[in-house]
Structure 1
Amino acid sequence: MEFLTGNLDLLMFATLCAGIMFGFPVVFTLSGIGILFGILGFSLGVFNMNLLAALAQRIFSIMTNEILLAIPLFVLMGVILERSRIAEDLLEEMGKLFGSLRGGLAVSVILVGMLLAASTGIVGATVVTMALIAMPTMLRNGYSRPLSSGIIASAGTLGQIIPPSTMLIILAEVMSSGYQQAQFTMGRFTVETISVGDIFAAALIPGLCLVVIYILFVLALAFLRPKSAPAIPHGEELPLATVLRHLGKVLVPPVVLIVAVLGSILGGIATPTEAAAVGAVGALLLAGPRFAPTRSNLPFLLSGISVVAMLVMTSQLDLRIGRVNATTAERIGIWIAFGLTLLTFWGILVALWRAARVGVLRPVLVSTTSVTSMIFAMMIGASVFSLVFRGLGGDLRVEHFLTNMPGGEIGALLFVMAVIFVMGFFLDFVEISVIVLPIVVPILLVMGMDPIWLAVLIAMNLQTSFLTPPFGFSLFYLRGAAPPEVKTIEIYRGVIPFVILQILGIGVIFMWPGLATWLPALLR
């Protein structure tokens, strides 16, 4: 009995792993095991049931967290853009520009994946879209099936490391909580915290570095093994100016949206939640003309100009209403902003009406609600589990283990990164983020690690969970959308080099922390 009471936390974690491996829904497994072991610990006299009194407050704080409100808005933005078929046009025009090069079609897929990552951030939609459009073209032009599979799956996962990303929002919330907990442990009472904007800025350059690594790998492979990634045979050639003009038509709208969303966050004009709202509205205005191409696009043009104008005005003037000390310029600006808001509202209504007429609005809302509910339910279930796990002394055991690791803080970091990587074979990023990170992050920060640098290392590690078999989500998405002749084993073989490239990317950030910390420090 003494052995059982002294190791109840370990038994709890082992039971969680077993439940997940047997295929039980993770949300119910987390909360169910938490409640069962809380009752068991109370009956054995090693758990204080009064700790569960904090559960209601934890759930309330999750549901009312203003930062987490950005998640459904970014999801809505991504789903709308996916339904508007912007990816198809981007792939077609990029293929015309780079297709005549060896590996050029693969480079086009990676670049489109980067653009979709910065504008949608939804892995499943990106992988499925590119599998349906790009993979048949790649196979038809002689690309090997494993390479085609690896390129599409890895390009689709860029949406998790390149902001805006739901993974980065969740990670920012975990890092902020862990940072405050670490400061309290070290006796430093400060209001300084880790914001979503900091994590977005920190992940931007590493994400682009990963794109460069992918492209260099593809070009090198095409040079060494030309048959695996040949150039597209010349068909009817269009003048370069014509290709660039067509590319600009499909490239400018998503780029403007990316600049508006990320620029407003990184420039300090808007909070992540406000920028997410701008992104959702912008995506709706971009998609509106595609839902009814024969009708006038004037409402969307005026609304888009209005949104950009209000962002510019917000950066120059204080447009908060109800202030008695507002200057004359600010009062005029408030009235102008009111008129611009009406124009924006007009474009939104027209876009919603067109989306409803073509049957797109309902699937968009259902998909957004499903994804958002899954994420928040996971966070609530993890709160139940972590509360009981800490009450049983699990956090103290983990802290003792990590602080006594050979190699000091580097040894502890390498061990945690290895655990996250291995767990990525069986769990997705949400589960790892809400189960493991709240326990280990405060311990690593107390050891003196830079929280921004640590967050980027963890984010790039979590990204591999989409590619590692047998449960990598990108592999499931690709398997469902790939042509029948592409075998599952070929998909697995194709992603292995890109998993290695991601590990290489983690090594680059580990060796040069400035790639992650320079931009956040510059923007502060």
Structure 2
Amino acid sequence: MQEFLVQNIAPIMFGCMVLMLAIGYPVAFTLAAHGLIFGVIGLSLDLLSPSIYLSLPDRIFSVMSNETLLAIPFFTFMGLILERSGMAEELLETIGQLFGSVRGGLAYAVIFVGALLAATTGVVAASVISMSLISIPIMMRYGYSHRIAAGVVAASGTLAQILPPSLVLIVMADQLGKSVGDMYAGAMWPSLGLVGLYALFIACVSIIWPASVPAIPPEHRVRFDFKGYVRAGLTLIPPLLLIFLVLGTIFIGLATPTEGGAMGAMGAVVMATMRKRLSMSLLNQAMHATAKLTCFVIFILIGARVFSLTLYAVDGHLWVEHLLTGLPGGRISFLVFVNFLIFFLAFFLDFFELAFIVVPLLVPVANALDIDLVWFGVMISLNLQTSFMHPPFGFSLFFLRSAAPKELRTTDIYYGAIPFILLQLLMVAILLFAPEIASTGRTAGELLKPSAVDDVMNSLSQ
């Protein structure tokens, strides 16, 4: 029994952790407990030295002093202030009327506003809930298919997962050891491509099934005169300026993501003040929700540091690396396997859990296979975005169900999400075979070229 534990402690440790998460134990405490318990087992089996745990305080302090992670509370606070100040409602109303005469116009408006909210808030819950409350009753009133209405709102709200300044990309950059600016630049074109796929899908539906996405009747349209277009411009310009303030300064190198987040939070407060929507109650709600999410992320990250310290001490990273580099087919097999693994685990685990548990185990393998980590991180982030859309556990679907009218059935929400999940997976496939769109500077030919590890594995097999 002792010999079996010595030889298999890493897979046993990982399997027990997954089992406890499946049972429903809190993630942060599950990770920390398994790190400490298997650390004691490893010490009793002489697999590791007690001196390893002297570095644990430094590892935990490094989490608390990580300036990159400061962007998380800044962007969260910015998103919550904007969502509660009524910006989403004004955008949807204005853009909905601009597109009102077009078949599927309200759906296009939801997609466009979802992209704008994603680029200004970066918070999925805020986007999905606000658009559910505002747009779904209007779409149902004008005869939209319930499934199309639910699907387009859930998918557009989930764009906050991948479109900068996404919290997902901030965490992914930290786990991959890359800069947040590089991750933002790499994700920009794939995320905009996803917006284009959503709009193309609505265009196809409007041609094939026009009754499901009707135009607004003429008697309910607002006729835009000069003053109307000026009002529309005044509604659209502030969020566009905020996007430039946050993302533009990051991309041109004037600000770090943390500084961009701080400017965005201040900009959101200014916008709410200009709308005369800022109050102490709104500030208290935003700060309370921001503190909760930040503590949630930090506790998971601390637990992950404890878990990874023990897992690496018992050579768990080498076990994972040997397991994945031994797959036939080299890099392509590894990438396909990883995407299937992420897609499957996303049914049961939250993004933060996957980012702090699974991604650190994949990074050494990706490095060994000479895979561009920015491109790899963007591809995983796109795949993780589907976790918010998976029936029946997707968080976007839960947010939508909590805010949608009772006339919208749960089955309509689930069926409506399926086409958009397929579009997300299509974007993952496009990125897999066209990595240059993630601004990595590498081509599909370079991706498919055998790596040094493949050559070593082939020589060993011979």
- Please tell me the TM-score bracket, short chain as reference: over 0.9
Q: What's the CA shift for 1:84?
A: 0.7
Give the AA of the match of 1:233.
P
Aligned residues between the structures: 440
Q: What's the CA shift for 1:518?
A: 6.0
Say which is worse superposed, 72-81 or 116-125, in terms of deviation.
72-81
Question: Would the aligned equivalents of 1:170 and 1:433 in 2 still touch at CA under 8 Å?
Answer: yes
Give the AA of the match of 1:96.
Q
Match of residue 173 from structure 2: 172
Give the AA of the match of 2:217.
P
Match of residue 254 from structure 1: 239
Match of residue 421 from structure 1: 343
Question: Would the aligned equivalents of 1:79 and 1:364 in 2 still touch at CA under 8 Å?
Answer: yes
Match of residue 155 from structure 1: 156
Equivalent residue in structure 2 for 1:286, among 266, 271, 293: 271
Match of residue 49 from structure 2: 48
Question: Would the aligned equivalents of 2:374 and 2:440 in 1 still touch at CA under 8 Å?
Answer: no
Give the AA of the match of 2:150.
S
Unaligned runs of 5+ in 2: 443-462
**Quick check: 1:409 aligned with 2:410?**
no
Which 4+ stretches in 1 moved above 3 angstroms? 240-243
Match of residue 455 from structure 1: 377
Match of residue 109 from structure 2: 108
Say which is worse superposed, 437-446 or 122-131, in terms of deviation.
437-446
Inter-partner Cα distance in structure 1 for 2:123 and 2:9: 38
Give the AA of the match of 2:181.
G
Inter-partner Cα distance in structure 1 for 2:155 and 2:288: 27
Inter-partner Cα distance in structure 2 for 1:54 and 1:28: 19
Q: 1:389 to 1:469 in 2, by over 3 A?
A: farther
Aligned-CA RMSD value: 1.6
Question: Would the aligned equivalents of 2:321 and 2:364 in 1 still touch at CA under 8 Å?
Answer: no
Inter-partner Cα distance in structure 2 for 1:242 and 1:214: 31
Inter-partner Cα distance in structure 2 for 1:241 and 1:513: 45
**Quick check: 1:274 aligned with 2:259?**
yes
Say which is worse superposed, 79-88 or 29-38, in terms of deviation.
29-38
Match of residue 215 from structure 2: 231
Q: What's the CA shift for 1:150?
A: 1.0
Match of residue 393 from structure 1: 315
Give the AA of the match of 1:83.
R
Give the AA of the match of 1:441.
V
Match of residue 201 from structure 2: 217
**Quick check: 1:35 aligned with 2:33?**
no
Inter-partner Cα distance in structure 2 for 1:8 and 1:240: 72
Q: 1:229 to 1:74 in 2, by over 3 A?
A: same
Give the AA of the match of 1:392.
V
Match of residue 368 from structure 1: 290
Q: TM-score, normalised by structure 2?
A: 0.92
Cα-to-partner distance string for 1:119-163 (whole Å, 9 max, x where unaligned): 000000110000001011111111122211111111011011111
Equivalent residue in structure 2 for 1:473, among 395, 402, 418: 395
Q: Counterpart of 2:129 in 1: which secondary structure?
A: helix
Question: Would the aligned equivalents of 1:202 and 1:519 in 2 still touch at CA under 8 Å?
Answer: no
Match of residue 192 from structure 2: 208
Inter-partner Cα distance in structure 1 for 2:228 and 2:429: 38
Q: What's the CA shift for 1:446?
A: 2.1
Inter-partner Cα distance in structure 1 for 2:248 and 2:122: 16
Q: What's the CA shift for 1:201?
A: 0.9
Inter-partner Cα distance in structure 1 for 2:389 and 2:51: 41
Q: 1:519 to 1:248 in 2, by over 3 A?
A: farther
Q: Counterpart of 1:420 in 2: which secondary structure?
A: helix
Match of residue 452 from structure 2: none
Question: Would the aligned equivalents of 1:66 and 1:273 in 2 still touch at CA under 8 Å?
Answer: yes
Give the AA of the match of 1:279.
G
Question: Would the aligned equivalents of 1:95 and 1:104 in 2 still touch at CA under 8 Å?
Answer: yes
Equivalent residue in structure 1 for 2:279, among 347, 355, 370: 355
Q: TM-score, normalised by structure 1?
A: 0.81
Q: Counterpart of 1:7 in 2: which secondary structure?
A: helix
Unaligned runs of 5+ in 1: 177-193, 293-353
Q: What's the CA shift for 1:240?
A: 5.6
- The percent identity for this pair of structures is 47
Question: Would the aligned equivalents of 1:91 and 1:134 in 2 still touch at CA under 8 Å?
Answer: yes
Q: Counterpart of 2:249 in 1: which secondary structure?
A: helix
Question: Would the aligned equivalents of 2:106 and 2:139 in 1 still touch at CA under 8 Å?
Answer: yes
Match of residue 431 from structure 2: 509
Question: Would the aligned equivalents of 1:428 and 1:472 in 2 still touch at CA under 8 Å?
Answer: no
Cα-to-partner distance string for 1:281-306 (whole Å, 9 max, x where unaligned): 111100112235xxxxxxxxxxxxxx
Q: 1:519 to 1:288 in 2, by over 3 A?
A: farther
Inter-partner Cα distance in structure 2 for 1:13 and 1:171: 21
